[in-house]
Amino acid sequence: MTGVQQAPTTVRHLLVRGDFRRLLATRLASQFGDGVFQAALAGTVLFNPQQAADPMGVAAGFAILLLPYSLVGPFAGVWLDRWSRRQVLLLANVVRAVLVTVVAGLILGGVQGPVFYIAGLLVFSVNRFILSALSAGLPHVTDEPSLVSANALSTTAGAVAAVVGGGVSIGVTGVFDTGTAGYAALAFGSALPYLVASTVVAGFSRPYLGPDHLTLAATVSARDVLHGMLAGARHVLQHPPAAAVSA
């Protein structure tokens, strides 16, 4: 029987490539830090006995988690098709390390309200951008037949790393029970895996993860994205059943 032999798409085949392992390690370090920071934020807003949570605080905490997907996500592709993804991953992780240090200071100082929530929102906005850059760079570190498997392995492993980071944080706070100071230390500690991720991705050359010239030629503008979002909002407002579903 003749035919074209399919390229292997096993985990072992994917991990043979050093560039894939490097990008995967960047994701694992980054999302481990996400888990640590999310645990610190959740502990501060929901479980800190020194600062009882109120309904508005809980709602603001969920907004911090969800808003970046709606506000930053649609624009991420526009910028990632113009900027070096390696540089985005390197610099954004450094920026995020600085931001979580600021949040740690706010937690330690007992600062609540808009300043605290805006700082947290900035962290998760950068995080959304980083996740998009990791996915956009994936085709450059694996062959086309393995792309679906590589994406599944990367996203699953990243989610596991985030859960492990959160679990480690919960375990640490459970053992030491240090209240506000403990949650601040967790937030500060999440800067370390972000800096590790930045160091790992620095091993790529600047253009390695794209974008390539074909991607640059096919880009849409941020204005196009904004127009699309406004058109969608107008459609929802003009059609009550759609507005009811969104609510």
Q: With respect to residue 124, please indicate whether it lies within any of the assigned structural domains.
A: yes
| Residue 174 sits in the same domain as residue 66 | yes
pLDDT score recorded for residue 81: 79
Closest CA to 153 of 126, 165, 168, 135: 135
| Residue 63 sits in the same domain as residue 169 | yes
| Residue 228 sits in the same domain as residue 150 | no
Residues found in the chain: 247
pLDDT score recorded for residue 173: 82
Q: Give the C-alpha separation, 96 to 241, whole Å.
A: 39
| Residue 102 sits in the same domain as residue 218 | no
pLDDT score recorded for residue 36: 95
Q: Give the C-alpha separation, 237 to 59, whole Å.
A: 23
Q: With respect to residue 57, please indicate whether it lies within any of the assigned structural domains.
A: yes
| Residue 92 sits in the same domain as residue 39 | yes
Q: How far, in Å, are 29, 41, 84, 125 from residue 119 at the CA level?
A: 21, 11, 26, 10
| Residue 38 sits in the same domain as residue 55 | yes
User: Which two three-digit tokens encode residue 2?
Assistant: 């003749």
Q: With respect to residue 94, please indicate whether it lies within any of the assigned structural domains.
A: yes
| Residue 96 sits in the same domain as residue 196 | yes
pLDDT score recorded for residue 71: 66
Q: With respect to residue 4, please indicate whether it lies within any of the assigned structural domains.
A: no
User: Which two three-digit tokens encode residue 66?
Assistant: 């969800």
Q: With respect to residue 112, please indicate whether it lies within any of the assigned structural domains.
A: yes
Give exposure, 57-72, as e/b (b: 16+ Cβ within 10 Å). beebbeebeeebeeeb
This prediction's pTM: 0.81
Q: With respect to residue 3, please indicate whether it lies within any of the assigned structural domains.
A: no
| Residue 142 sits in the same domain as residue 236 | no
| Residue 187 sits in the same domain as residue 235 | no
| Residue 242 sits in the same domain as residue 133 | no
pLDDT score recorded for residue 21: 96
pLDDT score recorded for residue 130: 92
Tally of domains within the chain: 2
| Residue 142 sits in the same domain as residue 217 | no
Enclosing domain of residue 177: 12-209
Q: With respect to residue 98, please indicate whether it lies within any of the assigned structural domains.
A: yes
Q: Which residues of the chain have pLDDT under 70?
A: 1-9, 47-77, 177-178, 213-239, 241-247
Q: With respect to residue 5, please indicate whether it lies within any of the assigned structural domains.
A: no
pLDDT score recorded for residue 150: 94
| Residue 42 sits in the same domain as residue 131 | yes
